A and B are shown apart, each in its own frame.
Chain A
Amino acid sequence: MNTIADFNAAVSRRQFFRKNGIGLGAASLATLLPNSLSGLSNSSIPAELKKVAPKAKRVIYLSMLGAPSQLDLFDYKPKLQERFSEDLSDYLKEQGQRLTGMTSGQAKFPLAPSVFKFKQHGKSGAWISELLPHTAKMADDIAIIKSMNTEAINHEPANQLCYTGNQQNGKPSLGSWLAYGLGSQNEDLPNFVVLHAQHTGPGNVQAISSRLWGAGFLPGKYAGVALRPKGDPVLYLRDAPGIDRDLRRNMLDSLNTLNQKSYDAIGNREIQTRMQQYEMAFRMQASVPELSDLSSENEAVREMYGPQTSTPGSFASSCLLARRMMERGVQFVQIFHRGWDQHGNLPKNIKPQCEDIDQPCRALIQDLKQRGMLEDTLVIWGGEFGRTVYSQGTLTKTNYGRDHHPRAFTMWMAGGGVKGGQVYGETDDFGYNITENPVHISDLHTTILHQLGIDHHKLTFKYQGLDQKLTGVKPTKVISEILG
């Protein structure tokens, strides 16, 4: 079946436009239409991209913007307690590591051991801070990577590297690459959805730019769609005041009839595509609100995610929403949680941040597990870099701040073929340099693609004459040791 004419012969117009009063069902649309008609004709899945034995079918990325302190959460350094306030100036000079403009003028770099208590958890004996009691309980579900590293030392470039694979502007985001590479599983919902979760920690809040979920040089339809907690969950989704479902359906039927007439006269395929998009819009008007309505979740589930579950836009409700999307075939959900940039008053300010995310993170993993979805859903947690072992500003026994530190930081992954209950990578006594198994951000990207069955070399898009890739030009590797 190649041409529109064939298609029209197969489905009568009446059938096409009306099915139970809400337009064509998703399944029939997907099966009846050649792929090239469901969007831009030149932007379907790259021909060379054959998925090989995917372990994961979908991804949830929990992005802690601002960079959580690995030293206060996961990277336990008990020996530092004895070296409280030791000046690291000379050590830092030896390292040759550049400092940000915020601390480069500091006269002293006093060593700041974490004020938080750590305990070992799970069969791997992973050290986890008292700040994350719920995460501690799922130590056997997650693989903690203590040896993450990046080149960027400030938020903007680091976020871009982390979420677009490149420090420069104009590159597609991770989710856009996936949407482009995976194709859609659901005709009623976008394939790449972004959620902005509210945070309660005070302090320096980083800006965030739509470039972190933008399509860059990929066709715009691969851009992440941000679901909003207030107002319309998708921009302009709700019919204008005074237009109800019945009127809208009637209007679309009339619109379709006229568009079909145009198509008959002109023969331009874009007309057909437009008709489909209006139909999908109509379906989304039902499917998106249904998706965002958490009231249908049973009480036990809501309790598991914690008291914030009923607050729209909270991290808890975002996690639950993410799970609902996973069930409905959305393939990539990214939750951005800001407020982790603790240059000062870290011990105080990190607490509410951890409270925001700790219980919902575990709930999400348990919820997926209970539904048998964890094995093919990859979950990633982490920020764009780490934080320094020395204090920014004055160090006291109970208070300190930490500057940006790109050389070593911690992330965790779960599900989607990742072997839980392990700690990967090690850092030196200061948590400053990686001593074992470094993992670069691009390695993380390579691994995400690999788990989805995609060879990162083959996920390319021709732009400016080059086969552009998410993972760039330098060699990268799959973190195979953490995989089951």
Chain B
Amino acid sequence: MRKFVILSLISVVPVVGAKVPDVVDFNDHIQPILSGNCYHCHGPDSSTRAPKKNPFRLDREEFAFLERSNGKAAIIKGDAEASALFKRITTKDVDDVMPPPESHKKPLKPDEIALIKKWIEQGAPYEEHWSFLPPTRPEPPGIAWGNSPLDRFIAVKHRENDLEPSPPGDPSRLLRRLTFDLTGLPPTPKEVASFREMAAKDLSTAVEMTVGKLLTTDAYAEHFGRHWLDAARYADTHGIHNDNYRGIWPYRDWVIEAFRQNMRFDQFTREQIAGDLFPNATLDQRIATGYNRCLPTTGEGGAIEKEYEAIYAADQVSTTSAIWLGLSTGCAACHDHKFDPISQKDFYALTAFFRNTTMKAMDRNKSDHAPVVFAPRKEDRARFITVEEDIAGVEKQIQGRRQNAREDFEAWLAKQLPTPSPPDPSSSIADASLHFHVRAGKISGTAGKTYSEWEFKGETLPTESKVPVVVLSEINVDLGDFIGFQAKDQVTFSGYLYLEDKASGPLLSRMDSEADYRGWDLWLDDGRLGAHLADKWPEQAIKGFTTEPLQPKQWHHFALVYDGQAAPNKSLTIFINGKSMPVKYSHSGKVDTLETKVPTRLGARHPDTRLKGIASMMSLQFFRKKLSHDEISKIAQRSTLNRLLTVPANQRDKNQKEALFDFYADQVDGPTKELVAKRTQLANEKDQLKKRGSTTLVMEEKPGEAFAHILERGEYSLEREKVLASIPDVFEFEQGDRKLSRADLADWLVSEKNPLTARVTVNRLWYYFFGRGIVETTEDFGIMGAQPTHPKLLDYLAVELVESGWDLQHVIKLITNSATYQQSQKTTSANREKDSENLYLWRAPRYRLEAEQIRDMALASGGLLVEKIGGPSVKPYQPEGIWEAVAMKGSNTRHYKQDQGEGLYRRSLYTIWKRTAAPPNMEILDAPSREVFCVRRDRTNTPLAAFVTMNDTQYIEAARALASNAIKQSQSFSQRLDHITMTLMARTMDNEEQEVVKKAFDHHLAYYQENPELAGQLITVGDSKPDASLDQPELATWTLITSQIFNLDETLTK
């Protein structure tokens, strides 16, 4: 066992030549060494703390100086040589040296040892990790550089590192960067010109005014919304297994709208985390909670609910922690955090906030995995409410007319003649019928021309006609090969049904429960009528029921239509007494075949699965066609009518008379017909509004306290201690006796007691503008995260954010109005040698634009961009087979059907995001898959990216569009080129550059004139048509030239 013992005769590595500062700082110098080398065994994680017998903890001051078993402390303040810590890191004895060889860590470096030595000599002072201390407003340093306090913080670091700041950059390039940073789009040539004019007078004012203007644009809201959607891992599919569509784009539109209104960030936070828990939560506030529903979910057949509940909760906590707290709490799912003061208990107490939800673990691959709300399109909101009112109004009028139609009814009835034993209007067209009257112990049926009889031994019900009918309960009558149909067929069942109470089980079936339940049945579920149609249960199967049970103790006419040509979730229509009933589908997978060898059974599915409860049927008819609504109501009502008219008028009871009145009111009465037509029209309008909107996933609390169990090693099956929702211990929080909910979490995230949210948020904003956060690890402000390059500036901005009323635009203005931001991008060799990464911002950032910005630039430059906010996601050009390659057979995102028209030209944030196969032309340019949160994108530079911008249809088409405009605008080569470069690069080319382009132009033109078929091919790429009035080789040449300019580093870079 390793123990801290005082060793005699230890050999010590000499500490020479190492650079050590005069004052050693715990956070800057010591913590990184200890956390990287020691904390794994001597840190926050109690499970790996060593030695097992008498664990030693080095991460907290209160433990580091405690006496060890030998009576001495590991660190003796002021005396490094006597401190066991120092001895153990310097010894050459392999049994004693720290970190030990089996940890696979290397011995400490001489300068690290020197730092620790000096630190102990200076009294070994500990400090709380910087990010856990609340930010306070620092005084801006008294250095005169730049035009804002922010610049003075930057200037201090310039000085410390002997760097020369850069002068203001070229105004055009600055405007281009500013416009991309704020809106994700390039400036127009006109905007460039007017900015240059303003900047010539006063650069600061020009920037200030432009920023003010850009912040009010929709493009700004879309661009910053898109940043947020990366973090929230927004996508249009579930992500796991089937990876089907999910209805959640109203949440995406909510985010855009929040940025459009410059919603306070604290409010933005509260509504997303817990908008549903606001008193009288609005529809928007509920939609906002879609944030909690953006996580990938599963409907995989064998998945275990508890396991996924644990996975979901961990995902929620990791995501929320990364976005608001900048903490990698995910580590604490399995063990106490190795470095940060987040215990396993803290982690599970955080998961408790998200576990108290009505959301089921299995999403059943449905787009409307509950809880959901319906969200009409923004512009339809008002009408959606009034149309419902209008429908209710007409409904009232219809009821009113019923009251007043009695007189007309009586007059009509007097004229109706009873028809003795009326012919059933449907019997002549039925393909099979089954009679349930039991005569001599037998029931009978006809299929085509074949008449059959079957024995029946079960119970019966008496009827008006004196011949009793079957009771279907607990029977199993094998009808042999009686009724059969195929998956693609359209068929109708019609008959009469009677329930004593809410019966459940099979009425009629032809299904093989031993071969994936292939086949079909008519089924009762607690009195609700419906059917199963299965190829392979449950993935490839349809199951739908009426939403309301049938009235007990009454005969109903029913008709069930199966349409094998319709979409699975629209394939069933069920009519009760001639009226179409809402049908709810629990399964709507694609059914390829119903072929089965088992017989049709009455009252049973498998000999063992029988109908429970009392139900009876009469006159079942089977049609090998889809009867219309009209035909069905006529069958239903006419047969009822005929039956009732045979009863002499004076013998009709109240129910019979009412049934006649119903018939009159629904099918005969003129005024009612008019009202019904009006209702239909309104209902259609409502349908249209519904179609334009979407259900959207939201969060909903379930009753009771929010709790979770600690899961040992993160294993869902190893439930340990129960914990209630709470804020991690390391943070100050007044809980009292209260039980906490998500609303408390939301409040705490943006409360003054939380030292992290404001810092993390301004840091992310900084990252959007400079490509690198003040803390480089935007997702991790913990002990192992990067140190801030400008800690005081970070705190200054954090305080500004909070004091401005959490106004993001305030911080954005501080950044863009700074001289730091407005510097030139040019490098100098002197600065480059000292700070090649530009950590200290001696020049403006310059790096490749993001995937969406590049695509949007292409669309905007050629005038193809369709400026329209929100709505369902769109499907622009995509190479064939991308979805097919990954999708399951039953997935509804297996086939990509490209849009036509405007769907090809919307801003990239509206492109449909399938998690298992993100849009390839954006993923190649480092757009995240949206499977997990992303608050920092990669920036790679690969040949695959070059292929996208050189060859993707979208880019060639856009180049052609811009080339056409250039040709049409002017005559000369250089004016046309200017148009292209002004649009893409916000500048014109100098003579030398123009010559280079001219040379390529002459080459291409000659080539295309010689090979006109190539020209024809190039200019017809994409769905939009080339301008027929233009010369083809010339247009092709300009298209290729535009593509070349588009692919310039300068164009692809901000």
Contact = CB atoms under 8 A, between A and B. Distances in A.
A226 B516 contact: no
Contact of B1021 (A240, A271, A277): A240
A221 interface: yes
B302 A234 contact: no
B943 A254 contact: no
A221 B942 contact: yes
B743 interface: no
Contact of B943 (A98, A204, A284): A284
Chain B binding surface SS class? loop
B1044 interface: yes
B1028 interface: no
B940 A40 contact: yes
Given A207-B886, A207-B891, A230-B880, A242 B1015 contact: yes
Q: Which of A214, A246, A268 has the most CB of B within 10 A?
A: A268
Interface string B835-855: 000000000001110000000
Interface string A136-180: 000000000000000001111000000000001110000000000
Interface in A224-263: 225-226, 228, 230-232, 234-244, 246-247, 250-251, 253-255, 257-259, 261-263
A241 B886 contact: no
Interface stretch (B641-649, B746-754, B866-874, B913-921): B913-921
Q: Which of A39, A155, A236, A246 has the most CB of B within 10 A?
A: A236
Contact of A251 (B881, B889, B1040): B1040
A196 B1048 CA distance: 34
B948 A236 contact: yes
Nearest to B838: A268
Given A210-B916, A236-B948, A254-B1044, A39 B996 contact: no
A207 B1018 contact: no
Interface string A441-457: 00000000000000101
A251 B1043 contact: yes
Q: Which of B315, B916, B918 has the most CB of A within 10 A?
A: B916
Interface of B: 35, 104, 106, 240-243, 296, 298, 300-305, 311, 314-315, 328, 330-331, 334, 338-340, 514-516, 536, 539, 717, 777, 779-780, 782-785, 825-829, 832, 846-848, 879-881, 885-889, 891, 915-918, 920-921, 923-924, 926, 929, 931-932, 938-948, 950-953, 956, 992-993, 996-997, 999-1000, 1003-1004, 1007, 1011, 1014-1021, 1036, 1040, 1043-1044, 1047-1050, 1052-1053
Given A242-B1018, A266-B826, A270-B847, A458 B104 contact: yes
Interface residues of A, number: 86
B829 A170 contact: no
A234 B945 CA distance: 11
Contacts of B945: 277
A72 to B, nearest CB: 20
Interface string A421-460: 0000000000000000000000000000000000101100
Given A242-B1015, A250-B1000, A266-B827, A101 B303 contact: yes
Contacts of A235: 879, 920-921, 924, 944, 947-948
Contact of A274 (B301, B926, B941): B941
A280 interface: yes
29 contacts: A102-B302, A153-B304, A154-B300, A168-B314, A207-B243, A207-B888, A215-B938, A220-B926, A226-B885, A235-B924, A239-B951, A240-B1021, A241-B1018, A244-B1014, A253-B1000, A258-B993, A262-B1048, A267-B828, A268-B825, A271-B1049, A274-B1049, A275-B1049, A277-B941, A393-B515, A458-B104, A464-B779, A464-B780, A466-B331, A466-B784
Contacts of A221: 940-942
A273 B942 CA distance: 9
Given A234-B947, A240-B953, 15 more contacts: A155-B241, A156-B240, A156-B241, A169-B296, A210-B917, A235-B920, A236-B924, A237-B951, A242-B1016, A259-B1050, A274-B1052, A281-B943, A464-B328, A464-B779, A465-B338
A219 B915 CA distance: 19
B339 A281 contact: no
A393 B514 contact: yes
Contacts of B784: 462, 464-466
A245 to B, nearest CB: 12
Contact of B944 (A39, A102, A234): A234
A265 interface: yes
Interface in A44-97: 48
B940 A39 contact: yes
B881 A236 contact: no
A7 interface: no
A182 to B, nearest CB: 17
B243 A209 contact: yes
Contact of A219 (B303, B938, B1020): B938
Contacts of A169: 296, 315, 931-932
Q: List 9 tightest A-B contacts by C-beta distance, closest first.
A: A465-B784, A242-B1018, A100-B302, A242-B1017, A464-B328, A281-B943, A254-B1000, A236-B947, A209-B916
Given A236-B921, A268-B846, A231 B1004 contact: no
